[in-house]
Chains A and B, each alone.
Chain A
Amino acid sequence: MKPEMFTVILAGLVHATLQLGVGTLLLLYHASLGKHIKKRTRELVTNYILGNGLLTAMAVAAACFGIFVTCNGEMNPAMLTIVVGILLALAVSIWAFYYRLGKSTELWLPKSISRYINRRAKLTESNTEAFGLGMLACFAEVPFTLILIVVTANSILGLPQALQILAVALYAILSVLPLIVLRIAARKGQTVVDIQKWRISNKNFIRIISGTGFAVLAAFLLVFKILGA
């Protein structure tokens, strides 16, 4: 496998370990079950996942265009060194403060934003609103995902043209994989409580995996793109 494709897969998996999308999906699922029948809830959840995935794909495509125009198709080693530094800083940030302290899955988000997302999840009635909520959740995680998107876009530009669109789609699918798994779990009869209990008991594990993912991606870029260049 080409290092570029490996970078896309690794960045997609690291993106998937971030928890805002999952938390918002749980809020939507819980709020919707109180108002609608299960079929309607599943439709809303599907639209939420589509919104989240589509915005991710569009962000990667936009980053590809941005790098293509500003860096002539590939970032130079100096720029990549900055990217590696940011990835390492984010790895430390995730280990240190991605989750708030206490026995809950509260994230780093300012309270006003998490309350707003909570309120929007409760008010979501139509498929369009669910789609928008997915986009909002994706957008709110940008401080952590932007650098992953930049790394992915840079790698995608190094792939043959036939594989580029496929790689964008692959990244978007990988990033929403936990949401798809959650939807299947809910369909199989898992309740929001079961899922939330699992998230709380595995919070530290997810934090370590997520932070380590950022660090591994930084090391990979350092070895294959900067030192190997």
Chain B
Amino acid sequence: MAKAKTERKKAKAITFSKKLIVKDITLEAKILGIASGSAEIFAEKVAEKVAKWAEKRESVTEDDINMQIAKEINRYNKDLAFVYKNRGKII
């Protein structure tokens, strides 16, 4: 019983999806007021690169993906990269 209490809750595993990344980047771009046309173009490119990066790994965390997106998106929009770098770090 005591052992069960000390066991850490297992993180929920989700399958990596390029589509979800594109959707998420375009949503964040909309929040920052970036034109949707250009956001869709670079969202596709960024998602492609992140997907390639993820392919080489057996498993990645959400934080890893956010940092990778921030790294890739930095060349297109610095504010958007800032949003991804600071996800979950506001409070």
Contacts and interface: CB of A to CB of B under 8 A. Distances in A.
Interface stretch (B12-20, B25-33, B46-54, B65-73): B25-33
Interface string A81-106: 00000000000000000000010111
Contact of B79 (A107, A115, A191): A191
Nearest to A109: B91
Q: How large is the interface on B (under 10, 10 to 19, 20 to 34, 35 or more residues)?
A: 10 to 19
A105 B82 CA distance: 13
Contacts of A115: 88
B91 A20 contact: yes
B32 A104 contact: no
A27 interface: yes
Contact of B91 (A33, A102, A117, A193): A117
Contact of B86 (A104, A107, A109, A117): A104
A154 interface: no
A115 B63 CA distance: 13
Interface in B50-91: 79, 82-83, 86, 88-91
A26 interface: yes
B83 A193 contact: yes
Contacts of A105: 89-91
A45 to B, nearest CB: 14
Interface string B27-43: 11011110000000000
A212 interface: no
Contacts of B86: 104, 196
A27 B91 contact: yes
A33 B31 contact: yes
Contacts of A109: 91
A118 B31 contact: no
23 contacts: A24-B91, A26-B90, A27-B91, A30-B31, A33-B30, A33-B31, A34-B27, A34-B28, A34-B30, A102-B89, A104-B89, A105-B89, A106-B90, A109-B91, A114-B88, A118-B90, A191-B32, A191-B79, A192-B31, A193-B83, A196-B82, A196-B90, A197-B82
Interface of A: 19-20, 23-24, 26-27, 30, 33-34, 102, 104-107, 109, 114-115, 117-118, 191-193, 196-197
